[in-house]
Amino acid sequence: MSLLDHALKVRENAYAPYSNFKVGAALRTADDTVFVGCNVENVAYPEGTCAEAGAIAAMCAAGDREFVEISVVADSPSPVTPCGGCRQKIAEFAKPDTKVNMHTTDGKVMTLTVAELLPGVFDAGHMART
């Protein structure tokens, strides 16, 4: 099953009663393990948690710390890019040349590298003097 297939499948589990905007994400580690996540909203925080963050959290909970590709899918007119917080999380757990695939449910796709998605990323090197 492709990353897109995994993301489409988990997207159906999203909890989006306020926005009705379901998002699914799937990432693959170097050993071909796939982790998935979907967005989850709640009344106090209607924006909810993001699908990408959920997939990364699942990866970390399993003890992995790096992924080699990620796909995100939403039912939108054009591919939806990850939010700022998720871009930082993606950059934390992937190399700059890692592919980030953004899909619509009707087949549009945009692929960027992590470096293209988040130029000037804050990383551990910025704290070298502490």
Please state, in angstroms and as integers, the Cα–Cα distance from residue 67 to each residue in 17, 18, 47, 90, following that order.
30, 31, 25, 9
Domain count, the chain: 1
CATH number of the domain where residue 46 is located? 3.40.140.10
State both tokens at 69: 């590709």
Q: How confident is the model at residue 130 (pLDDT cuts 50, 70, 90)?
A: low
Q: What is the mean pLDDT of residues 68-90?
A: 95
Q: Is 116 a known active-site residue?
A: no
Of residues 52, 69, 92, 116, which has the active-site annotation? 52
Stretch (H or E) spanning 73: strand 69-74
Q: How far apart are CA 113 and CA 130, in angstroms?
A: 29
pTM over 0.85: yes
Alpha helical stretches, state H, the chain: 3-11, 51-61, 84-93, 114-117
State both tokens at 42: 């709640």
Give the structural domain span for 14: 3-127
Q: How confident is the model at residue 125 (pLDDT cuts 50, 70, 90)?
A: confident
Question: How many CA atoms are closer than 13 Å to the CA of 50, on its beta-carbon side?
Answer: 17
pLDDT tens sequence across 81-94: 999 999 999 999 99
Q: How far apart are CA 101 and CA 80, in angstroms?
A: 10
- Three-state DSSP at 41 gives coil
pLDDT tens sequence across 25-52: 999 999 999 999 999 998 777 777 899 9
